[in-house]
Structure 1
Amino acid sequence: MAFTIILTIVGLVLLLAEIFLIPGVGVAGILGVGALAGACYFVFCEFGFVAGGIFTAVLVTLLILLVIYTIKTKTWKKLALDTRIDSKAQPVDGESLSVGDTGKAVTRLAPIGTARFDGKSYEVKSLEGMIDAGTDIEVVLFEDNKIYVKPHLADF
């Protein structure tokens, strides 16, 4: 009997942890459902069909009440991410940049990062591996709304 009670409590705690603390359907949720199913099985084996049916009915009722409670108290809205992102990707137009323009890497390009050309920041991709921040770079080509760059070699 004590094992069944412990299994039930552990199952409920794991399910609550899965719902409120751990996002997604993970190990805690699966173990919680398994613990509750095991508790139901042990009640059926130890106390018979009537006690097992009552235990299962009470357990299902508790789980339904938990779901209703979380819906009515808007717990899901507090847990859900609902931030709207209104920003858009900056389109690359041929008028502001052209092949051969030089700029400076603001962040490390590994191989994607941020670079500044004529005071404007752009997301760029390196064609030659990683480029450290602060390195002079040169626009090599535009493809699929992406800017490809390489390190700029100063003329001597």
Structure 2
Amino acid sequence: MGFVITLILVGLVLIFAEILLIPGVGVAGILGLLSMGGSCFYAFYEFGNTTGAIITAVNVVLVVALAVWILRAKTWKRMALETNIDSKAVSSEASVLAVGDRGRTLTRLAPMGSARFGDYVIEVKALEGMLDPNVDVEVVLIEDNKIYVKPLFAEY
């Protein structure tokens, strides 16, 4: 009878682990169900119909009780992370600049590269074509955190 109880407990632990601890594949859940089914089979085989029926009924009650306990809201609340995020993301580089600001390219803009605007080195995108390093540029558009520049003396 100890073997049957061990199979039942192992099955319950594996089902519990499958639902709450191990996301994904379902191997633990399948092994848990096989363990519980094995306990029923072993009880019928070794102890007869009456004991097998009782073990089967106990297994069903235990699985239902485990499912109810796991699916209660309090169980999930105990396992959920309840910290609030009060920090903010680093401010965008685009907030430092405005349309019309002037700077100088540090790298080749093909079409993206770096440019210096005052004390800030910012990634920018050439509005058209490519620009060489050390070219004076002007911000013409800031859109979706992308900064578009054109050569300072270009006609567009």
Q: What TM-score, normalized to structure 1?
A: 0.47
Q: What TM-score, normalized to structure 2?
A: 0.47
- Tell me which structure has the larger Cα radius of gyration: 2
